[in-house]
Amino acid sequence: MPRPRPAAREAWKLKKWYDVVAPEVFGKATIATVPALDPSQLIKRTVEITLYDITGDFTHVNTKLKFQIYRVDGTTAFTYVKGIEMMRDYLRSLTRRRSSKIALIHDVTTKDGVPVRVTIVTWTQFRCKTSQNKAIRTFMKEVLDTRVPQMTFDDFVRAATFSDQEGSLAQEAFMKVKKVCSIRKVEVAKVKVLGTPPYVSSSMSQVQPQEVPASSA
């Protein structure tokens, strides 16, 4: 392997290290430490970790979080949640023979105007009829259309991520769909954030492009 050139080594030495912190909904925990020559290089950079890396709770190991940096203050880089996704191996493990898996992909907007695309899935104990599948999808859509527009973006993130907590979207959907047939599990399998929270938009609008110094004649 070729040895790094002196210029590359010097550039690396000039880099500063920045602590990347999660949003307040995750206790502003430090989720990564990254190097950069200039703080502006960190804007829109993403970091992916599991929820377990933040909480230390092994039951959260199957939830993957994607954070995006939107502001740097000193040596601290602040983020917001760009996406949430359950591990594919975990989702496959929930599928059983002679049972049904009913998925709904639905776009909805939070109280503070952030559009999100939510994939919510129900697994049943036994195979359902077509009419039951339709009823389950209707109930899941009803939960999203009723709850999410009443939540701020951060409240939505909490309700979508912590499915084991009271008041989560998964638990509320479970209470609805269990009226249709015997249900084994309901999970928010994926969230794609299609916009940015107000505090992110206002912060990024204040970032001014760096001026290029005029070359001397």
Q: What is the DSSP string of 19-84?
A: EEE--GGGTT-EEEEEEESSGGGGTT-EEEEEHHHHH--GGGTTEEEEEEEEEEETTEEEEEEEEE
> What is the pTM (predicted TM-score) of this model?
0.85
Same domain assignment for residues 79 and 108: no
103 shares a domain with 166: yes
Asked whether residue 41 falls in the same domain as residue 114, the answer is no
Give the per-residue pLDDT at 13: 65
Do residue 54 and residue 102 come from a single domain?
Answer: no
Mean pLDDT of 6-17: 66
What CATH number does residue 92 fall under?
A: 3.30.479.30
Is residue 217 domain-resident? Answer: no
Domain contains 92: yes
Q: How confident is the model at residue 33 (pLDDT cuts 50, 70, 90)?
A: very high
- Are 81 and 92 part of one and the same domain? no
Say whether pLDDT at 169 is over 90: yes
Phi then psi dihedrals of residue 86, to 5 deg: -80, 145
CA 36 to chain centroid, in Å, comes to: 24
Q: How does DSSP assign 79-137, residue by residue?
A: EEEEEEEE-HHHHHHT--TTS-EEEEEEEEE-TTS-EEEEEEEEEESSPPPHHHHHHHH
Note the pLDDT of residue 212.
38
% of the chain exceeding 70 in pLDDT:
87
Residue 57 lies in a domain: yes
| Residues 123 and 163 reside in one and the same domain | yes
Cβ–Cβ under 8 Å, residues 170 and 123: no
In the predicted structure, residue 67 carries a pLDDT above the cut 80: yes
Query: Do 94 and 163 lie in a common domain?
Result: yes
Identify the residue with better confidence: 86 or 200. Answer: 86
pLDDT of 164: 86
- 95 and 190 inside one domain: yes
Do 51 and 143 belong together in one domain? no
Q: In the chain, how many domains are there?
A: 2
Predicted pLDDT at 48: 96
Q: Does residue 213 sit within a domain?
A: no
- Asked if 193 and 92 sit in the same domain, the reply is yes
Q: 5 pLDDT band (50/70/90 cuts)?
A: low
Question: Do 98 and 166 meet the contact criterion of CB atoms below 8 Å apart?
Answer: no
Burial of 65 (0-12, 13-18, 19+ CB in 10 A): buried
On average, the pLDDT of the chain sits at 89
Residues 80, 94, single domain; the answer is: no
In a domain, 33, yes or no: yes
What pLDDT does 203 receive?
67
Residues 12 and 101 in one domain: no
Is pLDDT at 209 greater than 50 in this prediction? no
- Please give the residue range of the domain that contains residue 12: 7-85+199-205
Q: Is residue 211 part of a domain?
A: no
Residue 166 in any domain: the answer is yes
pLDDT digits (tens, 9 = 90+) for 34-43: 998 888 899 9
